[in-house]
Structure 1
Amino acid sequence: MKHQTILICCSLFVNSIVFGQQTPKILADKKTNYLPDFSYAGYHFGEKNIPEVQGKIINATDYGVKANDGLDDSKALLKAVRAANAVDGNVILQLPAGRIILSDFLYIQRSNFVLRGAGSGETGTEIYCPRPMMYFKDPESLAELREYLTTFDKRQREPENNVDLPFSQYAWSGGIVWTQIPGERVKSYLDKYEPVSNPLAKVISGNMGEHTINVSDLKGLKVGDIVELQLFNKDGENGEIIKDLYQGANVKPGSHHWKFPKLPIVRQQVEITKISNSKITIKTPLTIAIKPSYQAQLVEWKHLTEVGIEHLRFTFPDIPRVAHHVEPGNNAIFLTRVFNSWVKDVTITNADSGILGEEISNVTVQDITTDGPHMAHYTVTLGGVHNVLVKNLKIYNKAVHPLSFNTFATKNVYQNCEIFADALLDQHSGANHQNLFDHITVHITPDKNNSYYLFGGGGADYWKPSHGPFSTFWNLNVQVEKPAEITKPVLLYGMKDGPLARIIGVNGNAKFEVKYEPDPYIEFLNTPMDKIPSLYDYQLQRRLK
């Protein structure tokens, strides 16, 4: 009966405001019902368009790359990369039209570098990857991940399918095209590899949603620096930061929230805009308040800038899928350690994962298509990243997690994306919080109970709950197959441990009910969002005024 009460109350609340207001009440009532400002996501905080970069052009064909000849182009292409790396200033590595065969990692390891094809369509550039990364030499940068997987005996166990196999290092990491800083960790997995802390400042306090922090012990920080803000839980299972992170909600945090006290539990990449004695102003707002017990700090964050991957497509063979987490590594792009960068106009066919991100900030990924008969793990996923904007993503293939906010993801946005097969909006545990699904279209077929599992909460129990407070859904357009046959509201359900979500504007070609737990804020149910179709655009336009 409790669930029915939630549904009825939400429906009455919505009906009482729809006719009286043109815009959702939450926009004018943010103090009572907090709504994060998502407008800082994307390239240059959303304030600049992706550029058409001019600079020195390195033609891959000058170094032996020959399209459509059926021969492997890896050595020639890597030779062209080395030539591009020797160029000062902006450099564009231009790929020819036609099929290029690549069977090795193509690392992008410098700033001001654009990998550009001749287009993502049939007459453009195709990077064909005949074999997965499991047949490549093990990347040094994933050594810690490999040790983590074996130390904790990470295995996919499905007795009913006779599956008992070790996790692949490529289940959520690695890509044929890979941005990285040599020698830098992709992601922290084990305490023992955590470097001795050398903070640029200790952070004493700050308020959620604000831009000013109080600090001590400044060391060489200056305006314009891009650094990482780190917050810790040093106080075990009952650490104050756990309670604050989940706003006291009725959820049960898993053990990873306290078992790795040397690893930050919340992090943001921030730009320093002002330093005034012990007060520092940062460009983007804090996702949670800072207290002395969090032992927060600002530390160096090594990264590349102005890296672009554009106008091409990746194709993989349609190999049999064995099981979840044991993918052999047909991943197209792995973005690590980039800031103010982009991926644009890319089609990806038959990938295990299309585009993966770790340790990136203020990146725009736009005009992406994923397709093919192969069942993917991820399409474009956001884990351990901050202020990333994914826009105009079309998903035609089936995927375990079509859209996914993963571990440590904060203030990221999926905007104007569309899922055509087995739609699921996944939030994948791991202290991820304040992410936005904005103007998403999903195509669904309700089950025999006239309901649909739309809100996913993936991830391991040790990182639960599925997300922190203030994850937001704005203008969710649900297209039901055969709407004429639907005679009563379709129930959209799935989330049981996602506290204080904001769900504004679920609408489509049928009537809907929403079941989302615990304590959601639901408004404009079954009401078109014509006036403000995109929360990201609305917030950005208001900020830039």
Structure 2
Amino acid sequence: MDTFLRISKKTLGTVILLLTYIVSAQKNTEIFDVIKKDNIFLPDFSYAGYHFGKEQIAVPQNSTIINALDFGVIPDDGLDDSKALLKTIKKANTLQNPVVIQLPAGRIILSDILYIERSHIILSGQGTGPQGTEIFCPRPMMYLENPEGLKELREYLTDQNKIQKEKVNNINIPFSQYSWSGGFLWARVPGKRVKSYLQKYDTPPTILGTIAKAPRETKTINVQNLRNINVGDVVEIQWFNKKGEQGSLLNELYGEKSPKIGSHHWLYPDLPLARQQVKVIAVTKNTITIASPLLLHIKPEYEVHIVLWEHLEEVGFQHFKVTFPYSNRIAHHVEQGYNAMYLTRLFNSWVKDVVIENADSGILTEAIANVTVEDIVTKGNKKGHYTVQMGGVHNVLVKNLSVQNDVMHPLSFNTFATKSVYTQCEVLKNPILDQHSGVNHQNLFDAISVFVSPDETGTYELFKGGGAGYWKPSHASYNTFWNIDVHFLSQLNDTSAILLNGMKDGPNARVIGVHGNKLIKVMYGPDAYQQFTNNDMTTYPSLYRYQLEKRLANHK
């Protein structure tokens, strides 16, 4: 009898588990019907990434290969290779064809900034394994000469008296210029500003046209005063709030029931609150057609310009490690500058197959669009600031990022990030899905795995947002979470739901398919749309992939 009961319970458990998966699959099949019925707007995220997700990353066949060994780089000799690497890049800049700078296997020592300042160039190693390429940076950037490109930031930090104060830790230290900027591998357009800090450095942009009216997600736009826009150009559309604290653009961004909005939204009327880099694929009289959908509605009461956007294209970093010696973390915002990469003003570019160890920040970004960052590992014993941070980006895709170290903001959408995606990423330690204020909106956390240890109350702040108060709320409308897989590490024996919270001021979020190995309750304020909590999204595990495949199928 006991044996029969044991078999029956086991069989019953299997049946219940099977029925759960069947019900979950049925619910997944209906999910888009449910969203449509609820009249919920979901942005189309499928345009994120290299060439709008349509092309695979590849080295051009007509590339000229430059071997760094030929310019004096000697791996594994314990001597600094910076001057030899600078010579290699100088040679690459003299060539017309696409260029691949081939780094040798072994440890290369770098103690200076390698600026990448031309299009169609790839920095490539021999892989990230034991026989691969390691770029070892023995000293932080704080010991280098101050970069000219961060002059305005340095002045801003001084003028605003930016001090990190932690009384309990006896910290009273000025902010570092390397907390969110700079890197030993630095892509830039020489002399071009990437972020506005001080109004005295503002210069009038080259306006190529204005837009009075257009619906969100359209691709064909009527332009007034259209000039000097040609097919193939990549330009920037900018939305301004010239109407102050009550400007209607703020309703467009945050909704009519927005939480308290910070003062930077109206104190700087010449600073665009939203910007979108677009590729022009057709021009007819006063009409242009763009390759990706319009980010926001445009109404007559807004002020919207099309401006010149200077950038680099087809820049790649691949197949190497960047390592730093272990150093103690001092405090937030006073990082010493163990930063691997700083990507600025890039379009249709990539970082692929890179391991970063013991960094303050792995990959920092500003003013880039349609860049793919994939197959990245961050690790080490040092607590970092960022892994792959997205700031001032549009249509950027971060795919297969494995965060194996402890990081303050492991996945982070920062100021002015739009229509960008983290997909198929994992955070193994102290995960936070950070949204860092500053009008970041219409971004996607997609098919993310996080490993969580709840506190003794059964609570974990997975959605905790960062950023300065003058740029609050933590995000604007339509940031989306899809298929977030939560692995709870603690052995909680009770069956009560574990609360995932941390966000109180994120308007119009979409939180869909948060599930895990324990029962979950999600609290996301003030008014998030929540569906399919505690359902494994087996039918549509990736919203990005679903939208991309659907778009590509429709264009065959």
Displacement of 1:25: 3.6
Alignment pair present for 1:46 and 2:53: yes
Alignment pair present for 1:325 and 2:333: yes
Displacement of 1:19: 5.7
Partner of 1:371: 379
Partner of 2:199: 191
Partner of 2:480: 472
Displacement of 1:484: 6.5
Matches within 5 A, 1:305-344: 305-344=313-352
- Tell me the secondary structure at the aligned position of residue 148 of structure 1: helix
Displacement of 1:250: 3.1
Displacement of 1:374: 0.4
Displacement of 1:510: 1.1
Alignment pair present for 1:505 and 2:513: yes
Q: Pick one of 289, 292, 297 that aligns with 1:289.
A: 297
Q: Pick one of 247, 250, 266 that aligns with 2:274.
A: 266
* Range moving further from structure 2, 395-404 or 255-264: 255-264
Root-mean-square deviation (CA, aligned residues, Å) is 1.7
> Match of 1:485, as an amino acid?
N
Partner of 1:257: 265
- Tell me the secondary structure at the aligned position of residue 101 of structure 2: strand
Partner of 2:213: 205
Alignment pair present for 1:441 and 2:486: no
Partner of 2:36: 29
Alignment pair present for 1:353 and 2:361: yes
Partner of 1:71: 79
- Tell me the secondary structure at the aligned position of residue 212 of structure 2: strand
> Match of 1:406, as an amino acid?
N
Aligned-pair identity in percent equals 55
CA distance in 2, matches of 1:26, 1:526: 19
CA 1:486–1:537 in structure 2 vs 1: closer, same or farther (change >3 Å)?
farther
* Range moving further from structure 2, 274-283 or 44-53: 274-283
CA 1:119–1:486 in structure 2 vs 1: closer, same or farther (change >3 Å)?
farther
Q: Deviations over 1:39-76 (max 9, x none)?
A: 00000000001113441111111111100101111011
CA distance in 2, matches of 1:481, 1:307: 40
Displacement of 1:219: 1.0
- Tell me the secondary structure at the aligned position of residue 80 of structure 1: helix
CA distance in 1, matches of 2:389, 2:486: 21
CA 1:451–1:282 in structure 2 vs 1: closer, same or farther (change >3 Å)?
same
Alignment pair present for 1:84 and 2:92: yes
Q: Deviations over 1:330-356 (max 9, x none)?
A: 000100011000000000000000001
Partner of 1:429: 437
Q: Deviations over 1:163-190 (max 9, x none)?
A: 1111111100000000001000021222
> Match of 1:419, as an amino acid?
V
Displacement of 1:215: 1.7
Residues 395 and 420 in structure 2, CA contact (< 8 A), matched pair in contact too: yes
> Match of 2:366, as an amino acid?
E
Residues 26 and 33 in structure 1, CA contact (< 8 A), matched pair in contact too: no
Alignment pair present for 1:531 and 2:539: yes
Partner of 2:19: none
Alignment pair present for 1:409 and 2:417: yes
Q: How many residues align?
A: 531
Displacement of 1:284: 1.4
Displacement of 1:30: 7.6
Partner of 2:14: none
Partner of 2:9: none
Partner of 2:12: none
- Tell me the secondary structure at the aligned position of residue 538 of structure 2: coil
Residues 266 and 408 in structure 1, CA contact (< 8 A), matched pair in contact too: yes
CA distance in 2, matches of 1:148, 1:42: 32
* Range moving further from structure 2, 501-510 or 478-487: 478-487
> Match of 1:349, as an amino acid?
E
* Range moving further from structure 2, 510-519 or 23-32: 23-32
Structure 1: any 5+ residue segments left out of the alignment?
A: 1-15
Matches within 5 A, 1:153-302: 153-302=161-310
Partner of 2:131: 123
Displacement of 1:81: 0.9
Partner of 2:396: 388
Partner of 1:106: 114
- Tell me the secondary structure at the aligned position of residue 308 of structure 1: strand
> Match of 1:39, as an amino acid?
S
CA distance in 1, matches of 2:171, 2:35: 52
> Match of 1:495, as an amino acid?
M
CA distance in 2, matches of 1:148, 1:219: 35
* Range moving further from structure 2, 19-28 or 31-40: 19-28
Residues 28 and 537 in structure 2, CA contact (< 8 A), matched pair in contact too: no
What is the TM-score of this pair, normalised by structure 2? 0.93
> Match of 1:530, as an amino acid?
T
Q: Deviations over 1:400-448 (max 9, x none)?
A: 0000000000000000000000011000000000000000000001111
Matches within 5 A, 1:484-495: 485-495=493-503
Displacement of 1:278: 2.9
CA distance in 1, matches of 2:398, 2:33: 24
Q: Deviations over 1:141-167 (max 9, x none)?
A: 111111111111111111121111111
> Match of 1:37, as an amino acid?
D
Q: Pick one of 420, 424, 434 that aligns with 2:428.
A: 420
Q: Deviations over 1:208-231 (max 9, x none)?
A: 222232320011111221000011
> Match of 1:403, as an amino acid?
L
Q: Pick one of 455, 465, 468 that aligns with 1:460.
A: 468
CA distance in 1, matches of 2:318, 2:32: 40
Displacement of 1:197: 3.2
Q: Which has the larger radius of gyration?
A: 2
Displacement of 1:482: 4.1
> Match of 1:387, as an amino acid?
N
> Match of 2:545, as an amino acid?
D
* Range moving further from structure 2, 440-449 or 152-161: 152-161
CA 1:38–1:483 in structure 2 vs 1: closer, same or farther (change >3 Å)?
farther
- Tell me the secondary structure at the aligned position of residue 439 of structure 1: strand
* Range moving further from structure 2, 209-218 or 461-470: 209-218
Structure 2: any 5+ residue segments left out of the alignment?
A: 1-22
